[in-house]
Amino acid sequence: MSIHINTEAKQFHLTNGKISYIFHVLKNGELGHLYYGIAIKHQADFSHFQDGGIPTAASCHAEKADPAFSLETVKQEYPGYGTTDFREPALSIKRESGSSIHRFDFEGYTVTEGKERIPGLPATYSKPGEAENLEVSLIDRTAGLKLTLHYTLFQDLPVIARRTVLENIGNEKIRLERVMSLSLDLSDSEYMMMQLSGAWSRERHIKERKLESGIQSVGSARGASSHHHNPFLALRRPETTETLGEAISFHFIYSGNFLAQIEVDHYDTARVMMGIHPFQFNWQLNPGETFHSPEAVMTYSDQGLNGLTQSVHDLFRHHLISSNWQKKERPVLINNWEATYFDFNAEKIIQIAKQSKELGIELFVLDDGWFGKRDDDTTSLGDWFTDENKLPDGMEALSEAVRAEGLKFGLWFEPEMVNEESLLFGEHPDWVVHDPDRPKSYGRNQWVLDYTRREVVDHMYERMSSFIKSAQLSYIKWDMNRNITEAFSASLDFEHQGEFFHRYILGVYDLYERLTSEFPDVLFESCAGGGGRFDAGMLYYAPQAWASDDTDAAERMKIQYGSSFVYPLYSMGSHVSAIPNHQTLRNTSLKTRGDVAYFGTFGYELDPNQMTSEEKEEVKIQILNYKKYRTLIRDGDFYRLRSPFTSNELLWMVVSKDRSEALAGWYKMLAAPNPKNGQIIKLAGLDPDASYTINGQTKPHHGDELMRRGVNLSPEFNGVNGPWAKRGGDFQSEIFYLKRLL
Ligand code: DGJ
């Protein structure tokens, strides 16, 4: 790993043998970008990598003497506004005069080992020897602003983490109106743009489009990263597949409003940007103050989209998810939400826990409805005191009873919300996010608490930590069920009101930070009406996320397939639920429901007392299997092999790093009449020279055979082969567990 700096030519080359990232100081003192891609050997001089240099019609140039130099035709590192580039900038400011023009000249740099934390924000981290950091500082003397660009290069990963720091070193107030965390100018636009978009109950579906002239973007202005667009973008060459070709991905380590955009200009170059959404954002920077942007990371792959995914999974597993949770097994859990909704009492819960223990489940999670007078979703959010009508002996007693059955105990909270009908609202009506001059909109009958206010965060810290201690919680599901309307805080004045959304999420992070550092062994699962805030920022605090409220196996295939582009399997909460499914009314077999849920953090969301004895036996085996697979699911390399978005089938697999074991899941959506039998599926990632047993069968198979020739699926019902058919009907699945012979 190395950061090469040519001080004379003012060139920077970050390389770790996997990627190279090269930029330099342009002749006018600003920063120009030279190259990002597969590693290239270091050279004494890279200045010939610079584009432009030839006068072009109608572009503006800064120097009379050099009409060939225009910011419009060179790749830049962090483009500004007001001179010779007319594309959207990475930064927008407003000075006291009203001027937005700025221009940052290179000032100096420092290289340090490792990474510093960003005050108040989640970010990737490194242990000694795992990363190097380059900080390049630039100054606009007229505005009195210092801009520092941070680049972190990880030792073993094709990843660069970037962020921006602005410091007011002058005497006038500056208003920041747009601060992107990264900007990347690419020499051409021959790419497909991939995004993960959807809605409640169908989050993170893969959408693709060809880059076209103009701006294309995804983002959120809802106060949360959202169900609708994930803070992620990828670019792949049109010919790139899952296994071959070039691709780049961009990930924002942030949970609030975001913008991920690509601008294709009139020379067909592409400018990628990622950062806090500038819509409804501004930040007042007074003399002496500093603003830190959140972090964004870029990953490069020349081995297709699976290569990209594997690097991002490794980054998130080893440099984002708390090191305390990296190697811990996640318990198989049961959550009572779909089993009881609000209708439960202590006896019912203990019965579920008792039965769950017999099945092999390890953690019981009590979901919504345990506090205040919460018999439906119209009341009590904010009143975090046990409902003694439902649980007359209190939460401590319930927790003790569940733990006496041999399970761990966890609780649901929705700490950012309040109902109108609640004691908390009666006491603190001003704690609600609202504009005092206007009516408040409702979302699920509730309002959002103003997390820009320290006293709100302190109050929730007191409530949650008191339950963690008294009820000995091992787990918390942190839900968030509506987005922010009437975004306004009475605690912020005119100059600072534009800071509301960012300060809100800083408040959320503050509470997470305090709870996770005081209680590092409590497992947090983030949730926002399912997957409405499943993002890399949350992952820093909560190592798993409830991927979607949709527990239907067929829908989950798409949701988990899409999510797998970015998020490690072990971060995706995936549960087996009852049928007909509560979101789609669809029936799928218990086997298929389990076979889909295996590829995540496994659990159940049903009442085991309602199951037949055959179903209970099947569930016992599912749980035993998952316990066998879970280290592999946690640490292995993931491969997408057949997409449910483009075919009637899904095939995915996970292979241990040492290739000694693997788990493949094959699924078919709709049955077709008279299907071809003897169907073969090709696996990936195995050791071609090794032999593997499949599902414990005695006859071994060579790795090369399994990858090149493939493995046979079992016979499918075709209208006449009843006695031989092993599978049939809609939503079938097969699981292949491979173990290398010594
Ligand atoms: C939305 C979550 O996604 C569900 O799992 C459940 O916890 C409900 N909220 C409870 O209100």
CA–CA distance, 94 with 99 (Å, rounded to integer): 6
> Which atom of ligand 1 lies nearest, measured to the CA of 477?
7
DSSP string, 483-516: ---S---TTS-GGGGGGHHHHHHHHHHHHHHHHH
Does the pLDDT value for residue 63 go beyond 90? no
**pTM greater than 0.75:** yes
377 is catalytic: no
Find the catalytic residue in 314, 479, 535, 595. 479
Q: What is the pLDDT of residues 353-387, one digit of tens each?
A: 999 999 999 999 999 999 999 999 999 999 999 99
Task: From 545, 555, 676, select the one nearest 600 (Cα to Cα).
Answer: 545
The DSSP output letter for 720 is S
pLDDT category at 57 given cuts 50, 70, 90 is confident
pLDDT category at 608 given cuts 50, 70, 90 is very high
Q: What are phi and psi of 264, to 5 degrees?
A: -100, 125
If DSSP codes are grouped into helix, strand and coil, which group holds residue 351?
A: helix
**Percentages of the chain per state (helix, strand, coil), in multiples of 5:** 20, 35, 45
Does the pLDDT value for residue 393 go beyond 70? yes
CA–CA distance, 222 with 188 (Å, rounded to integer): 32
Mean per-residue pLDDT over the chain, rounded: 97
Tell me the average pLDDT across 128-147.
Answer: 97
pLDDT at 616: 98
Please check whether residue 350 is in contact with residue 401, taking contact to mean a CB–CB distance below 8 angstroms: yes
pLDDT at 136: 98
How far, in Å, is the centroid of ligand 1 from the Cα of 528?
Answer: 8
CA–CA distance, 407 with 365 (Å, rounded to integer): 10
pLDDT at 1: 58
Q: What are phi and psi of 297, to 5 degrees?
A: -120, 150
Does the pLDDT value for residue 316 go beyond 90? yes
Does the pLDDT value for residue 731 go beyond 70? yes
pLDDT at 54: 77
Across 15-24, 65-74, 99-108, least confident range: 65-74
Q: What are phi and psi of 550, to 5 degrees?
A: -80, 110
How far, in Å, is the centroid of ligand 1 from the Cα of 131?
Answer: 39
Residues touching ligand 1 (Cβ under 6 Å) are 337, 367-368, 412, 479, 481, 527, 529-530, 546, 549
Task: From 655, 681, 653, select the one nearest 665 (Cα to Cα).
Answer: 653
Which tokens in the block code for residue 107? 């000032």
CA–CA distance, 624 with 601 (Å, rounded to integer): 14
Tell me the average pLDDT across 330-341.
Answer: 98
Beta strands in 254-302 (DSSP E): 258-264, 270-276, 283-285, 290-292, 295-301
Tell me the average pLDDT across 18-38.
Answer: 97
Which of 527, 534, 581, 605 is the best mutation target for the ligand 1 pocket, counting ligand atoms within 8 Å of the beta carbon and taking the most?
527
Q: What is the pLDDT of residues 1-21, one digit of tens each?
A: 589 999 999 999 999 999 999
pLDDT category at 60 given cuts 50, 70, 90 is confident
> Which atom of ligand 1 lies nearest, measured to the CA of 412?
7
How many residues would you count in the chain? 742
Please check whether residue 276 is in contact with residue 257, taking contact to mean a CB–CB distance below 8 angstroms: yes
Does the pLDDT value for residue 275 go beyond 90? yes
387 is catalytic: no
Find the catalytic residue in 368, 383, 450, 549. 549
Task: From 484, 535, 512, 483, select the one nearest 415 (Cα to Cα).
Answer: 512
pLDDT category at 497 given cuts 50, 70, 90 is very high
pLDDT category at 64 given cuts 50, 70, 90 is confident
Which of 475, 549, 550 is the best mutation target for the ligand 1 pocket, counting ligand atoms within 8 Å of the beta carbon and taking the most?
549
pLDDT at 56: 80
Does the pLDDT value for residue 212 go beyond 90? yes
Please check whether residue 667 is in contact with residue 592, taking contact to mean a CB–CB distance below 8 angstroms: yes
pLDDT category at 432 given cuts 50, 70, 90 is very high
Does the pLDDT value for residue 693 go beyond 80? yes
Tell me the average pLDDT across 438-446.
Answer: 98
